[in-house]
Amino acid sequence: MCSATALQNIVLESIQLDAKQFLVKPITREKLLITIHKTLEYTDEKALEYTKSIQNI
């Protein structure tokens, strides 16, 4: 939940632009590393899906 309207707009725009993860302040080292890991996992999954799809063409 975002209390500021401007922040809500940024979050909604980010989601529309396909953002997968968000970091909320204060950012800890652990939160940052977890977010990076999740983002890379998602990217790897999408790359694998794309590779499979073009092999079936």
| Domain membership flag for residue 45 | yes
Overall number of domains in the chain: 1
| Domain membership flag for residue 35 | yes
Alpha-helical (H) ranges within 1-57 are: 5-16, 29-55
Query: Exposed, middle or buried by CB within 10 Å (0-12, 13-18, 19+), for 10?
Result: middle
| Domain membership flag for residue 38 | yes
| Domain membership flag for residue 7 | no
Whole-structure pTM value: 0.59
| Domain membership flag for residue 51 | yes
Give the pLDDT confidence of 12-44 residue by residue, as tens digits.
Answer: 888 888 888 888 788 899 999 998 988 888 888
**The pLDDT of residue 50:** 82
| Domain membership flag for residue 11 | no
Expressed as residue numbers, the domain containing 38 is: 21-57
